[in-house]
Every structure is written in C-alpha cells, then in structure tokens.
Amino acid sequence: MTRRVLQLLIGLFLYGIAIAMIVRGAVGVAPWDVLTQGLNLRTGITFGLITIIVGAIVLLAWIPLKQRPGVGTILNVLLVGPSADIGLAFIPADLDLWARILLFAGGLLLLGVASGLYIGANFGPGPRDGLMTGIHRVTGWPIWVGRTGVELVVLGIGWLLGGNVGVGTVLFAVLIGPICGVTIPLFRIAPTAGKAQAPEVEAALEGDVQPSPPVVDSPAN
C-alpha cells in the first residue's frame, strides 16, 4: 500500500509537470488543455485552478452515470492543477523553437510515464477518462466514439477562446495512447493481497470505474 500511495502521488505530480512542459512547448496541447488555456486567457485565473475547476465539473457528470470515483480520481482533480502551476512558474515562456520542440517531446514522454505510475497504482482513472467509459457503459457506443465527440467539442470551445491548437495537438492524440500502452503495464501494481484481506477497503480506494484501453487515448485524463 505504501508503494501504491507513493506511486500515485509521484505520478500525479509528474503529470502536472508534463502538462506544463507541453504548454511551454507552444506547438499545440491536448484537447482538454486547449480548453484550459482558453479559459485562462479569458478569465485570468491560473491554469492550475482552471484545471481543478474543470476536473470537478467533469467529476460531477459521473453522478448521473452512477459511477463511484476512486481515491486516485479525486486526487487527480486536486493535485494535477497545482503541479502544473509549479511547472509553469519554473519553465520560461517564449523559448527558441528547438527548445520548445524538445520541451514538447520531453513533456509527452513524461506524461506517458506519469500516466503509467498513477494509473498503475490502481486507485481509479482520471475524471475525464471515467466520463468516457461511463458514456460507453450507458449508451453502448464504442469508447473512441464518445471520446472523439466530447474532445472535439472541448477542442473547438478551447480554440474559440484562444487555446493553442497546433501540430502538437495532433501528435498528442496519435502518440499518447501507444506510449501509455507501454507504461501502464510496466508500472501496474496488482493489489491481490489487499483485496484478499479487505475487499471493501480496496473497493473504496479504487472506485468502480476501470480506465479505458491505452490504445484509445491517455487513460490518465
């Protein structure tokens, strides 16, 4: 359990740092971060605080889907945003193109590792991924259909608000799934012993939502 908790917290912290690296890369960000950027530009609220607010709103959407979040789901909402703000505070903006490309590439790889750590700890998926799997369960649509539809809407709104859509957005969508497909099995911790000793405790920690397949997209969203 100690290893699982540490892995969860380290993964969430690195996830926020990875987002900051991708944002500072300024070659395009993930769809949900396009929305966050747009809201940040329009409201002046910090990127991290908007990340928390949007995550909380998405988590509320779990209620009509009758899904129970895990500890990792709730901590995702609370911790990734502040971690992203820390990264944005220390990583300078307006770097040369070559440096921004390296930042984006490093951020993408780090986000894959962070996803593997955090999801592999088995404390539940991120709020956005749970929304997609919930839509799949309720409607019967393939996960990719629900994810694509929701993220296109999010991307469009974020772009209209001024969020950064670019080649990095496309590369993120294409590459993050395969990267997570490697890192999640690599860092996965099977909580068999914990379940055998206290299944009700394990159920409360994990929630009742499984992450979507990594090949679909990052299940850490």
Average pLDDT, rounded, for the chain:
89
Query: Lowest mean pLDDT: which of 62-66, 96-100, 161-165?
Result: 62-66
- Contact at 8 Å (CB) between 161 and 35? yes
Distance CA 11, CA 117 (A): 5
Average pLDDT over residues 85-94: 95
Q: Which two tokens stand for residue 16?
A: 């926020």
- Contact at 8 Å (CB) between 211 and 129? yes
Task: Please give the model's pTM, rounded to 2 decimal places.
Answer: 0.90
Kindly report, residue by residue over 105-160, the tens digit of the pLDDT. Answer: 999 999 999 999 999 898 988 898 888 888 888 888 888 788 888 899 999 999 99
Percent of the chain exceeding pLDDT 70 equals 93
Q: Helix (H) and strand (E) counts for the chain?
A: 10, 0
Which residue's structure tokens are 């607010």? 53
Amino acid identity at 181? G
Kindly report, residue by residue over 35-65, the tens digit of the pLDDT. Answer: 999 999 999 999 999 999 999 999 999 999 8
| Nearest partner of 147 among 77, 46, 221, 206, judged by Cα | 221
Higher pLDDT pick, 94 / 39: 39
- The number of residues making up the chain comes to 221
Kindly report, residue by residue over 178-194, the tens digit of the pLDDT. Answer: 898 899 889 988 755 54
